[in-house]
Chains A and B, each alone.
Chain A
Amino acid sequence: MSIGFETVVKYLPGEVLDVRDHYSYLEPAIARLSIEAQEKLRSTAPYQVRRLKDVSAAEIMALAAGLKAVDSIGLNPSEIDALFVAQTGGKQFMPLLGSYLHLNLGLRKNAIVRNVVDDNTSILDASYVAWNFVKSGLCKRVLVIAVAAQIGGQTGFGVDLTDPLAQNYGDGAAAAIVSAQNLKCEFLSYHFESYPVRPRTGGTLIANIGRVRPLANPDLAVKAGVEDKPGAYLVLDDPLFDQVAGRRGLISESLGRALKKAGLGLQDVQLVIAPHIGHLEPGWMLDLQAAGLPQEAYRNLRSRYGNTAAADLLIDVAEFAEESSIAKKSVVALWTPCVGVQLAALILRWPGSPYE
């Protein structure tokens, strides 16, 4: 039985921020960094990002993406058997968005609802479980939603807008329906690897939040338009993530193992979509080229949307599908590391079914 995405859609807020212009208030903070750090930051910032300035940004975007997915194939919400939600940011760390979306999407009372909290890999991990739910006959259709509410929510989670790193991040959401019908693409394999080098808050009550800390540059709070208050803001002060996720060979070797599960090799891949982590991209691209892939095999929408964390991969797939820029019968690799470090890959064939 072929299983894959029956539909995949994105929802991006309407407000577009020109990164260089909007974040010019960060210049004093950037100037305090080392020359090397300044160069790295400036060379990897996206051109623009999207923002939804609302305390309920996570709820609004996730719901919009979910509704769009259901509408896109003319489904009644009662035809959704399960919902998986991956979120970055939001106004509360428990309960997460699952029950809110369940109510507002109008799903059946007994539809399965799971919040997945594995950082950037969440959406791939969720897709794997959804794949198995469909394969086993437990579900006909599983809705997966990913949302990043990082810069517009101002809820004490997400990105510290006085931190120079803020300019890398954006808001956005995407959703897909996993089923065995009318497939847009077919799942070929799922692969996971773990390179534990530092703790990542896990388990089920704390979700993905860091320690509470003050703003990085309280003197910039007014210009950033935020309250000067502590929050569980993103912290990237540990070089271990970069060392592991940016290790030469990591992307090609792990993708090779993911593809092997599908009976394929790296040379069979036409498109690799990786997360929007600008400073690691040059290394990943070199790695893939060294493994024999053409430069154009690596594509993503980082420069347009910034880092949308849990939603990166689905947003890209949705937009590439919309613009029909994925060649028929392409093998597509969705690959992402997450803090910890762990990584996941989902290999798809696009379009992969005789229905296409």
Chain B
Amino acid sequence: MKVGFETLVRCVPEEVIPKARFDYLQPALAKLPLRLQEQFSIVPNEVRKYRGEDGDRAELMAIATAREALDASGLQPSDIDYVIGGAVSLHKALGLGLDTPMLNIANCCASFVDSCQIAWNLVESGECRRVLIVASAALAGGPNGGTTDLTDAIAPIFGDGAAAAIVSSQNLKCEFLSYYGETDGACYRSARGEVRPLANPELAEAAGVPAGPGPYFCMDDISYIEVASEKGYLRNSLEKALDKAGLPLSALDVVICHHLGDCEASWTQDLVDAGLPAETFQNLRLQTGNTGHTDLPTDLAQFVHDGLVRPDSVVALWVPGAGISLGCLVLRWLA
């Protein structure tokens, strides 16, 4: 049975925040060790921020994007058997049935791809006909947002984003070919989130945020980046993923990677070393920043729209989430 995306939609938040908006962080950057200065200087040209109703931005984007997915597919809420991702409010806003289960998994930036694996299993086994996956991240910081401390020198890399997909075996836009995952707990404490004070409270006013502690992302230990950018890391895991699909690495047309600017040079080199053209590596990091687990589905949706991913393209969605939770989904675009 073929299983894949029946629908895939992305949400492009309205507000554009150019990198110049973060110039106030220069004093914070200057205080860091040279290695971190270099790393945090690899920033996108701009990021996006949701500007809609008042409220939790991640929840609001999730609801808007999930509605769009239903509309785009012509499906009714009653056609959805299972939902992965999203707050309880999503259930109400969509008008799902009383007993439609919702599951939330927290595998950091690998969560969307890892959700696809669960959805694939539920559909293939006949347990569900359609699974709605919602990915939403309010990482542009500020009130009603997520985990970004806007006084931290790393803040400019993060933006808001959302995507939604319906996984089924009907009217497929693409077919899943394989999923491969790996876990490496040695970096458990590297890229992490904890309750802490602002990194640079003296910049709170310039950043437009209240002083005081919050649940913030921090990365004072770069072992996560070192592992994720090791030579051969991308190539080896891609080979395993493609092997499960019975394909060689050369079958890949597009590799969409998580938006980690400081790893991209290494990843591109990995693909070139494997004999793939450098342009196989594609993503929209410069336009959207790091949008967490929404990076991959939003890029894929845009690349399909732009014609970069064409019918019969073999695409790998590849992400080393913090932890490290590495997930890779290989699919063939059909539509």
Interfacial chain B residues near A129, Cβ < 8 Å: 103, 118, 121-122
Q: Judge if A202 is at the interface, Cβ distance under 8 Å.
A: yes
Q: Which of B281-327 contact A (CB under 8 A)?
A: 292-293, 321-325
Interfacial chain A residues near B89, Cβ < 8 Å: 196, 199
Would you mind naming 9 contact pairs between A and B with Cβ atoms under 8 Å apart? Answer: A92-B189, A95-B188, A95-B191, A132-B125, A156-B213, A194-B92, A194-B98, A205-B137, A340-B87
Interfacial chain B residues near A25, Cβ < 8 Å: none
Interfacial chain B residues near A342, Cβ < 8 Å: 88, 91, 102
Report yes or no: B212 in contact with A230, Cβ–Cβ below 8 A: yes
B181 interface neighbour in A104, A110, A128, A156, Cβ under 8 Å: A110
Q: Judge if B59 is at the interface, Cβ distance under 8 Å.
A: yes
Per the bound structure, the CA–CA distance linking A136 and B3 in Å amounts to 14
Q: Judge if B229 is at the interface, Cβ distance under 8 Å.
A: no
Number of chain A residues close to chain B: CB under 8 A? 63
Interface residues as binary, B77-104 with A (CB distance below 8 Å gives 1, 0 otherwise): 0000000011111111000101111111
**Residue of A with least CB distance to B293:** A204
**Residue of A with least CB distance to B91:** A194
Interfacial chain B residues near A205, Cβ < 8 Å: 58, 106, 108, 111, 137, 139, 146-147, 193, 292-293
Per the bound structure, the CA–CA distance linking A230 and B211 in Å amounts to 12
Report yes or no: B108 in contact with A204, Cβ–Cβ below 8 A: yes
Q: Measured between C-beta atoms, what is the minimum distance from B108 to chain A in Å?
A: 5
A93 interface neighbour in B92, B104, B193, Cβ under 8 Å: B193
Report yes or no: A116 in contact with B105, Cβ–Cβ below 8 A: yes
Report yes or no: A194 in contact with B213, Cβ–Cβ below 8 A: no
Q: Judge if A192 is at the interface, Cβ distance under 8 Å.
A: yes
A102 interface neighbour in B58, B90, B105, B183, Cβ under 8 Å: B183
Per the bound structure, the CA–CA distance linking A138 and B100 in Å amounts to 24
Most-contacted residue by chain B among A98, A99, A101 (CB, 10 A): A99
Q: Judge if A68 is at the interface, Cβ distance under 8 Å.
A: no
Report yes or no: A200 in contact with B107, Cβ–Cβ below 8 A: no
Beyond A116-B103, A192-B100, A194-B102, 10 additional contacts (C-beta under 8 Å) are A113-B181, A115-B107, A117-B105, A194-B98, A198-B88, A202-B85, A203-B87, A204-B293, A207-B106, A344-B101
A202 interface neighbour in B88, B147, B185, B325, Cβ under 8 Å: B88
Interfacial chain B residues near A231, Cβ < 8 Å: 195, 213
Q: Measured between C-beta atoms, what is the minimum distance from A77 to chain B in Å?
A: 13
Report yes or no: B194 in contact with A92, Cβ–Cβ below 8 A: yes
Report yes or no: A194 in contact with B96, Cβ–Cβ below 8 A: yes
Report yes or no: A95 in contact with B192, Cβ–Cβ below 8 A: yes
Interface residues as binary, A116-143 with B (CB distance below 8 Å gives 1, 0 otherwise): 1110000001001100110110100000
Interfacial chain B residues near A155, Cβ < 8 Å: 194-195
Q: Judge if B114 is at the interface, Cβ distance under 8 Å.
A: yes
